[in-house]
């Protein structure tokens, strides 16, 4: 009897962990995102709970990322690309933009830059899915880049998510 109870409890525990892993795995942290300087704590994308995320043409998609930093950061820019079978293309409305105006404290007050070491912040942004984008499956790569100087930058956070652009 106790062995049967143990097996049932073990199976339920495994199922719980697997369910959480599947629900949280619609994005991955990029390979070039350093573990030592950033930690993505949570991510939400409009109407995206499982991949591929639907990016409907003519709509605006919201992104909210909660992340931590372990060093002071004075300047942040976005690098947002769609990888397709035909190449890598920037998302025009958000790529290479100043990310500092989109940084918030955890109580939703504006934080902007500089970010302080050991801080936890929210990055909130929106991007428009232009009608001229092709109907295509993509992998969206979204980076927050620290600009050290003209010749040097560091990846502060980076995630990738599979998506489908459609009408």
Q: Which tokens in the block code for residue 163?
A: 């998506």
Q: What is the pLDDT of residues 34-69, one digit of tens each?
A: 554 458 899 999 989 888 999 999 999 999 999 999
Residues 6+ apart with CB under 8 A from 136: 82, 84, 164, 165
Give the integer Cα–Cα distance in Å for 14 and 127.
38
Q: What is the pLDDT of residues 73-107, one digit of tens each?
A: 999 999 999 999 999 999 888 999 999 999 999 99
DSSP, collapsed to helix, strand or coil, labels residue 19 as helix
Q: Which pLDDT belongs to residue 38?
A: 52
């Amino acid at each position: 009897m106790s062995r049967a109870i143990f097996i049932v409890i073990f199976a339920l525990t495994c199922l719980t962990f697997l369910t959480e892993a599947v629900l949280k795995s619609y994005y991955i942290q990029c390979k070039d995102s350093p573990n030592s300087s950033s930690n993505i704590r949570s991510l939400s994308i409009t109407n995206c709970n499982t991949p591929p995320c639907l990016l409907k043409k003519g709509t605006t998609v919201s992104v909210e990322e909660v992340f931590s930093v372990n060093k002071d950061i004075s300047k942040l820019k976005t690098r947002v690309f769609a990888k397709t079978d035909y190449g890598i293309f920037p998302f025009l409305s958000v790529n290479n933009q100043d990310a500092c105006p989109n940084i918030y404290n955890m109580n939703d007050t504006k934080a902007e830059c500089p970010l302080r070491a050991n801080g936890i912040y929210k990055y909130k942004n929106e991007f428009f899915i232009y009608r001229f984008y092709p109907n295509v499956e993509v992998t969206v790569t979204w980076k927050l880049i620290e600009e050290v100087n003209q010749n040097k930058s560091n990846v502060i956070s980076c995630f990738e998510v599979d998506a489908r652009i459609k009408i």
